[in-house]
Amino acid sequence: MITFVKNGGIKNAPTGFSWTTLFFGFFPAIIRGDLKWGIIMFIIAIVTGGLSWFIFPFIYNKIYIKSLIEAGYTPKSSSGENILRSMGLYERSSNINPETNMYSHAEELKKWSELYRDGIITKEEYEIKKSEFFTS
């Protein structure tokens, strides 16, 4: 189970084989709030006469995790990141603070410093941004 966060919201996502999808078909997707895949699974189950219930348990958890990542959720822990990397689902850097889903102040300040150094922003703009970081 991997815990994801986004703007203070938390979602848990299981990994691997989905036993709940095997036993209950599209209902776990609906309960998780994944209406798109719940409806897709329901329609495919009707078309295939229920045979898809034996296929989706192998792929649904991975589909659900991909949809969470696409929606902007990030793993709460580094172990979650490592699991997702081993599954080939996560490539973001570890500079992101999972609690706030934002870059750390140091990384952001470094980015502004490089913009100033490269002449993209003025010294005044850089100083304003720098003072914002130290006051927040």
Once rounded to an integer, what is the mean pLDDT over residues 49-69?
90
Once rounded to an integer, what is the mean pLDDT over residues 37-64?
92
* pTM to 2 decimal places: 0.61
Shared domain for 65 and 89, answered yes or no, is: yes
Shared domain for 47 and 73, answered yes or no, is: yes
pLDDT of 104 reads 61
pLDDT at 100 over 60: no
According to DSSP, residue 90 is labeled -
Helix (H) or strand (E) holding 3: strand 2-6
pLDDT of 105 reads 65
Once rounded to an integer, what is the mean pLDDT over residues 38-63?
92
Weakest mean pLDDT among 23-27, 39-43, 104-108: 104-108
Shared domain for 73 and 120, answered yes or no, is: no
Once rounded to an integer, what is the mean pLDDT over residues 98-111?
62
Q: What Å distances lie between residue 135 and 59, 114, 128, 131, 132, CA to CA?
A: 47, 21, 11, 6, 5
SS3 content of the chain, % helix, strand, coil (to 5): 55, 10, 30
Higher pLDDT, 55 or 121: 55
Radius of gyration of the chain (CA): 21
Say how many domains are in the chain. 2
pLDDT of 60 reads 92
Domain limits at 119?
104-136
Shared domain for 128 and 112, answered yes or no, is: yes
Once rounded to an integer, what is the mean pLDDT over residues 83-87?
83
Shared domain for 42 and 25, answered yes or no, is: yes
Higher pLDDT, 3 or 132: 3
